Structure 1
Amino acid sequence: MNKTKIYLLLLLSVIVTSCIPKKDLIYLQDKKSAVNEVVTPLNQNPYRLQTNDILNITIKAIDSKLVSIFNGSQGAGVGSSSEQGSYFSGYYVDDHGNIRLPILGEMNVLGFTTEEVRVKIEKMLLDKYFKEEAGIYVVVKLSGFKYTINGEVGNTGTKTLYQEKVNIMEAIANSGDINITGDRKDVKVIRRFPNGNETFSIDLTDANAVKSPAFNLQPNDYILVNPLKQKTWGTGKTGIESLTTIITLLSLATTTFLLLRN
């Protein structure tokens, strides 16, 4: 009887430790009963342009003919919504941080925000080529918000969202969500800066994740979701799966023992 109890306890402990707890699967839990707080501006800093970025630049005026050269075939590809179209017709930031504009020539944009580039282009146009009465209007945008996600998610790869800001929850949802075997407590975000890369770790099961500098993504972020240890054990993701695996192994062991005995 004592041996039977010991075996049952061992079986129960294996099942409990091998399955994934519910608390490891729920996003943004209020673990510390924290009151609602305003997210600090730290994780909402504007993105500063880096090499290999692609800009869409549109220049408008009261008389569209005056600025047609800026928006021709070498321009920003107005009306092209595809990523491929943006790649071929957008303004590429080269290894020196420069873009090449018609008439205006090379312009360094490395470390600038899109708003600062807009102001810079407007000023150059008004100083050299146009008067205020021309009604010059400049729009500068990134050609989509691009990020890469890998690991335990439904759909890995490089993604592009056509919106100004993206948080990590939106990026994961756009990638088919984290698999049940993915570690939501330690999601890595690798961010590129002019002086090198920096890695952030964010616990998406904690409501305080919204305060992390990695919650609001920056363009070109790399997101990595590592597997839970339960996946490497191979016993199953739930109690039923674990029990089925154990029963199968016990049946196989029993059958092998009987065959060898006979």
Structure 2
Amino acid sequence: MIKITMRNHFLLLLFIPFLFSCIPAKDIIYLQGEPIAKKEIKRINNIPYKLQVDDILNIDIKSNDETLVSVFKKQSSNSKNTTIDESQMFFNGYSIDSYGNIRMPTLGEVNVLGYTELEVRKKIENELKKFIKTQEELFVSVKLAGIKYTAIGEIGSPGPNIIYQNKLSIIDAISSSGDITAVGNRKKVEIIRNSITGTEKFTIDLTQISAFDSDVFYIKPNDIINVIPLKQKTWGTGTTGLGALTTIVSLFTLISTTFILARNL
């Protein structure tokens, strides 16, 4: 009677991995489904980013007479090196301090906190006109020195990252951070966003093609991408049938050994 009971228990344990522990394919495949034909073009809700403390700006001032504007430009520490890297941007760019200011040659402190790139460009142009009275044409370029984000949780390469693009989708960001692990929840990826108005949290389902229509499909600078784990990781029984089976067999062996030793006592 004991052998039959133990055998039934063993068969039950064999089925547990396949019923509860295996991760279905639909939970790990990105952008499933067919795109829905649009009758009208939807305008992307791309609200201009407002600058925050510790952002770094790349500001370039040009004119027909370069000697005229040279006093307003920061001298590059390695002007001969055309390769862009994070350290170069840090030392040659304009970092926004805790008061929301950048410090420019001749112009001095310029407050840019809460401004967009376009607004900062116009503000600098107006400041330059106070010093330059001639009819020389000025060209001012203001760009954020890359899009910085931080990926945490079930991600291949967690930590901060900077992508030198004007626009960055969450798919690009996740790909650049080593992709989501096998036990990461692709159906509920969290995006934590800090702004001058406070902190917001959004979620996006990356397993559905409808993710392209999400307002948070394109991330903003300083976003935090948090990939929470699936329940399978909490259970600790493996992500595949074989892995779960190995765990269950080991557990069954331990129980059987304990039971046999207890009978012989």
Select which of 44, 48, 51 maps to 1:49.
51
- Output the CA distance in 1 between the equivalents of 2:100 and 2:238: 50
- In structure 2, the partner of 1:129 is 132
Query: After alignment, is 50-59 or 86-95 more displaced?
Result: 86-95
SS at match of 2:142: strand
- In structure 2, the partner of 1:223 is 225
SS at match of 1:69: helix
- In structure 2, the partner of 1:23 is 26
Displacement of 1:23 in angstroms is: 0.4
Displacement of 1:19 in angstroms is: 1.0
Displacement of 1:200 in angstroms is: 0.5
User: CA RMSD of the aligned region, Å?
Assistant: 2.6
Displacement of 1:76 in angstroms is: 11
- In structure 2, the partner of 1:251 is 253
Select which of 71, 89, 101 maps to 1:86.
89
What's the TM-score once normalised by structure 1's chain length? Answer: 0.88
Query: After alignment, is 220-229 or 98-107 more displaced?
Result: 98-107
- Output the CA distance in 1 between the equivalents of 2:96 and 2:226: 26
SS at match of 1:170: helix
- In structure 2, the partner of 1:152 is 154
> Which sections of structure 1, spanning at least 5 residues, go unmatched?
none
SS at match of 2:221: coil
Counting matched residue pairs gives: 258
Matches for 1:35-74 after TM superposition, within 5 Å: 35-37=36-38, 38-42=41-45, 44-73=46-75
8 Å CA contact 2:187–2:204 kept in 1: the answer is yes
**Is residue 214 from structure 1 mapped to residue 216 from structure 2 by the alignment?**
yes
> Which sections of structure 2, spanning at least 5 residues, go unmatched?
none
SS at match of 2:178: coil
Query: After alignment, is 175-184 or 70-79 more displaced?
Result: 70-79
- Output the CA distance in 1 between the equivalents of 2:207 and 2:190: 14
- Output the CA distance in 2 between the equivalents of 1:17 and 1:184: 18
SS at match of 2:222: coil
- In structure 2, the partner of 1:104 is 107
SS at match of 2:174: helix
Select which of 167, 170, 173 maps to 1:171.
173
**Is residue 12 from structure 1 mapped to residue 15 from structure 2 by the alignment?**
yes
8 Å CA contact 2:74–2:92 kept in 1: the answer is no
8 Å CA contact 2:51–2:116 kept in 1: the answer is yes
What's the TM-score once normalised by structure 2's chain length? Answer: 0.87
